Amino acid sequence: MRKLIEGIVDFRNRILPNCRDTFAELAKGQNPDVLFITCSDSRVAPNWFASTNPGELFVIRNVGNLVPPASSVPSVNESDVSALAAVEFSVLKLNVAHIVVCGHSECGAMKALAFPTDLETTPHLKSWLHYGEPSLDKINRGISLDKKLSRENQLSQINVLQQIEHLKSYPFIQEQLDQSKIEIHGWWFDIAKADVHSFNKKTNRFELIE
């Protein structure tokens, strides 16, 4: 916590004097180009690895970068509608042009899914991970984009594509896609190398963005 407070003081002293105008302008409204859906994992820092500034990314972060599919509505757990509200707001009100679903290596959520351990003490986590089960089904059926990866990393790559399917299950998203108003991208962040990969439909693989 001390590091956080010192960071704020350092920001005020060192950085803020040079960007007061930027924030005064941002206060008038936001116009982000991208809805970025990623994991809550502390090691995944999209503003940092994609060199973006305040106002450029509208971000949804949750455990496992999951999106409840349309088929789960209206029975969707009430606490889970937050992700859907943010998708609706950014797509229909802020008119983002791109949605990025970004998974990552060594994801604790994928590990919990791939190697089901005792989740009895974390009932909400157990319930939330339900939205990743279709990804696990695929892995269990031998579907993989790169069999050289560990089981949880294979799962996290498949899960990116699965969550994109969940997004596409909403008629308002499908409509935006049909009218070419949005594009959806699958990304995967390799923590050890700090490499970002993008899914290429033609090769059916995640490929390094360089």
In the chain, what are the helix, strand and coil shares in percent, each to the nearest 5?
45, 20, 35
Q: Does 41 bind Zn ion (CB under 5 A)?
A: yes
Using the rule CB under 5 A, is 161 a contact of Zn ion? no
Member of 66, 107, 158, 184 binding Zn ion (CB under 5 A): 107
Q: Which stretch binds Zn ion (CB under 5 A): 22-30, 37-45, 85-93, 111-119?
A: 37-45
- The sign of the CA dihedral 78, 61, 191, 163 is positive
The number of residues in the chain equals 210
Size of the site for Zn ion (CB under 5 A): 4
The least distance separating Zn ion from the CB of residue 103, rounded to whole angstroms, comes to 7
Could you say whether residue 35 binds Zn ion (CB under 5 A)?
no
Kindly state the smallest distance separating residue 13's Cβ from Zn ion, in Å: 33
Nearer to Zn ion, 153 or 176 (CB): 153
For the record, the structure tokens of 81 come out as 């509608």
DSSP assignments along 62-78, one per residue: ETTS----GGGTTTS-G
Question: Is the CB of residue 119 less than 8 Å from the CB of residue 112?
Answer: yes
- Single out the residue of 159, 170, 174, 185 nearest to residue 76, CA to CA: 170
Which position among 34, 37, 39, 99 is part of the footprint of Zn ion (CB under 5 A)?
39
Q: Which two tokens stand for residue 135?
A: 């990804």
Does residue number 152 form part of the binding site for Zn ion (CB under 5 A)?
A: no
Q: Is 101 in the site for Zn ion (CB under 5 A)?
A: no
Residues binding Zn ion (CB under 5 A) = 39, 41, 107, 109
